[in-house]
Amino acid sequence: MVDIDIVKYLAEKKVLVDKALKNYFANANSLFEMMNYSVDGGKRIRPILAIASFESSGGKDMNILLPVACGLELIHTYSLIHDDLPSMDNDDIRRGKASAHKKFGEARAILSGDGLFAYAFELFTQGSGLIQEKYSVIKSVSEAVGPKGIVFGQSLDIDNEIDDSPKSLRRIHVNKTAKFIAVSIKCGAIMARASEFITDNLYSAGLYMGLLFQYTDDILDIVGEEKKLGKTPGKDIAFGKLTAPAVYGLEGARFRAERYAELAKKRFSALGEGFKILNQITDFILYRTY
Ligand code: GRG
């Protein structure tokens, strides 16, 4: 069951993130306006995870964390813009509206994505001090979203030659989705100056949360409603994608999603009561409908 408090928590933090993001697109030129179009909307799960782990790790000053949290959302948005392109997943709808290439044309959509990716790293360097922590954020995020992470996962995802084994599925999910979720959680703790023990354990718990996230994404592609999802369901089957339900069946995928949730929660719980918000977010992801 999803706790009512977590729904309230997510809504409150989303407002915080949206407000901070707005500042980064004030006085915008037309490129920034296009970038902002795609940034607008979305659940803000990755920045909220960074906030949750920042606060759980004792972080107090949100001004330290918000540029990092927003940068994570910009990278996420960039990956969605590129994922929707005709040469990738070819999706016309994203976040309940026309996807970037449908709205602005392909060339401008690509540039919006490129702009968001680089702008994120500018945000990671914002503010004075905490040089070591910012270095760690940049190192960890670049590893998770580049050719050892999202880009690698996506290249496996579009590879028609890939076999449909559980091992290949996990490899795609870990790289395409889980590493980014895990690093979002890790970054919050880094900016709160948590110990390496905490950041490492949060990262490994986050990998399980990330696998859970992609399992629920795959399941929602079958059982979800377009209006709630803000994107077109049924595309995985239409494109013959390697998904959790394709490998394990719908019930098998649900069962394994629950197992990943348990594995994540076990690891968050081991860090103490202070991290329980991450368990609640895990349950929210397990039961999400959008
Ligand atoms: C070079 C970083 C980079 C990206 C290009 C296209 C691509 C390579 C990667 C795509 C990765 C991708 C779309 C993975 C799926 C992850 C996923 C489940 C996204 C949906 O995230 P939500 O549900 O969306 O958090 P909202 O809109 O709520 O933010």
Does the pLDDT of residue 75 top 80, yes or no? yes
How many whole angstroms separate alpha carbon 285 and alpha carbon 290? 9
Distance 57 CA to ligand 1 centre (A): 27
Stretch 5-25: mean pLDDT: 97
Separation CA 201–CA 268 (nearest Å): 8
pLDDT tens-digit series, residues 129-143: 999 999 999 999 999
pLDDT band at 126 (very low <50, low <70, confident <90, very high): very high
Lowest-pLDDT range, 95-104, 162-171, 184-193, 205-214? 162-171
pLDDT at 273 over 80: yes
pTM, whole model, 2 decimals?
Answer: 0.96
Strand partners, 98: 93
> Could you give the CA distance from residue 28 to residue 77 in angstroms, rounded to a whole number?
18
Q: Determine what percent of the chain is predicted with pLDDT higher than 90.
A: 89
Q: Can you count the helices (H) and strands (E) in the chain?
A: 15, 2
Looking at the predicted structure, is the pLDDT value of residue 127 above 90? Answer: no
Instruction: Determine the pLDDT at residue 160.
Output: 67
Would you state the CATH architecture of domain 6-287?
Answer: Orthogonal Bundle (1.10)
User: How much is the pLDDT for 2?
Assistant: 64
- The alpha carbon of 135 and the centre of ligand 1 are apart by a number of angstroms equal to 24
User: Structural domain boundaries of the chain?
Assistant: 6-287
Determine whether the shortest distance from the Cβ of 177 to ligand 1 is under 6 A: yes
Averaged pLDDT for residues 200-223: 97
Q: Is the CB of 80 under 6 A from ligand 1?
A: yes
Above 70 in pLDDT, residue 1? no
E strands present in 40-121: 93-94, 97-98
Q: 65: closest CA among 114, 113, 110, 13?
A: 13
Query: Which residues, listed in sequence order, are joined to residue 103 by a DSSP beta bridge?
Result: none
Averaged over 5-17, what is the pLDDT? 97
Say how many Å lie between the CA of residue 83 and the centre of ligand 1: 7
In whole angstroms, what is the distance from residue 254 CA to residue 236 CA?
Answer: 17
> Residue 150 has which token pair?
């999202």
